[in-house]
Amino acid sequence: MVCPLDSWLSDKLMQQIAEENNLSETAFFVKENEVYSLRWFTPTTEVDMCGHATLASAYVLFECLDYEKDTIVFSTKSGALKVWKEDNRYVMDFPIQSIESCDISEQIEKAFGVKPIATFASMDYIVVFENEEEVVNAKPNLALLKALDLRGVCITSKSKKYDFVTRFFAPKYGIDEDPVTGSAFTQLVSYWAEKLGKNILNAKQVSARGGEVHCVVKGDRVEMSGGAVMYLEGVISILNEEEI
């Protein structure tokens, strides 16, 4: 869900709108000089990085609000994020998140019922499984994942068709499973680029809705690209803010 604004609403009201939407993320943006300030809210909290809603915000500007320049610059809690169009895809320039190897916790192993081959910590836990079937068939105990200390858990493995596949769970942020998670790929490429010895990676998030993501590693940045389509356009009616 993308909400273009002429000026900022209160943090409380934006969080209430995101809670009412009950989607993985609700994005709000305001034009400030030559850039667009962009913020993202899950149903329970504001987050520091979100790829999916950034791509959607760029789609709204390009396709609905007649943005005329080649590149959009978003000002965010993760710094300046650029988005541009290439054919029928949108390319996002994000910072890569470093990862650190960590012990395989009993809680993670118990949550998935399968022992991973490795785990890493960054913004989220990156959990590497032996094969694609373990990722696709995973039915995690969300209560155990919700009790973990980081934002969420990203599971991943090598793939027969793609370089890797992934799924993402963040129940403590009101997201049992996210359909496509751009911010997770800023961590995943740290592992897979080194593991596979390549800087161009084609991946798929194999959630129920799913989505393919093309990644190009460029130093400490990653360019991620994917498509977008319009699903619904409407107007949110808000009561007097003091009455909410």
Report CA-CA distances (Å) from 91 to 78, 84, 170, 199, 211.
Answer: 17, 5, 25, 16, 14
Q: Is 133 a catalytic residue?
A: no
One-character DSSP codes across 158-186 = E-SSSSEEEEEEEGGGTEEEES--HHHHH
Report phi then psi at 53, rounded to 5.
Answer: -75, -20
Choosing from 20, 25, 46, 241, which is the catalytic residue? Answer: 25
In the three-class reduction of DSSP (H, G, I as helix; E, B as strand; rest coil), residue 109 is classed as helix
| Contact predicate 202/189, CB 8 Å | no
Beta pairing class for 153-158 and 125-128: parallel
Q: Output the CA angle 146-152-153, nearest 5 degrees.
A: 100
The span from the CA of 210 to the CA of 165, in Å, is: 10
Could you list the active site residues? 25
